Amino acid sequence: MRKAHLAFAATYWVAKRFPVKVCCELSYDPRDPYAVTLILDSEGDHAVRWVFSRELLADGLTGSAGEGDVTVWPEGQGTDGWFLWLKVGRDPHTAVFETAADPVAEWLLDTYRLVPEGHEEVDAEWEQLTHLIE
């Protein structure tokens, strides 16, 4: 079964004046059609994995989205381009990342080619997913 995968660079804003480049990955598996997986610092010793809804990421490309552990919002179409911001964690333990939005938007379109919006329930492998709950 085909999956969607994107490796990309992001800026981890440790402090307002201390940006750190990190390698990240986004992945999508049609067997779990509602979720995307984000791996932060994917090539580092302390990679962190976040799983959240594909819909949240899609909504975050056009406006602020998310109220829990993951929030996403776009910024600008100015001379520096279009960026996507991701905030993970809960206050006071949060991390903020910035990346180019175009590659993420293109990758997200690929996920919708695999499982179109509104077809998630039809394409889900419920037996495999229910084993995760047990």
Task: Note the pLDDT tens digit of each residue in 9-26.
Answer: 999 998 878 899 999 999
DSSP state for residue 62 in the 8-state scheme: T
Strands (E), the chain: 4-15, 18-28, 35-40, 48-53, 70-78, 81-90, 93-100
Select 4-133's CATH number: 3.30.300.30, 3.40.30.10, 1.10.150.170, 2.30.31.20: 2.30.31.20
Task: Note the pLDDT tens digit of each residue in 40-99.
Answer: 988 888 899 999 999 999 999 999 999 889 999 999 865 668 999 999 998 888 999 999
The tokens describing 44, both together, are 């580092």
Is 42 exposed, middle or buried (CB count within 10 Å of its CB: 0-12, 13-18, 19+)? middle
DSSP state for residue 65 in the 8-state scheme: B
Task: Note the pLDDT tens digit of each residue in 107-129.
Answer: 999 999 999 988 787 655 556 65
**What residues does each domain of the chain span?**
4-133
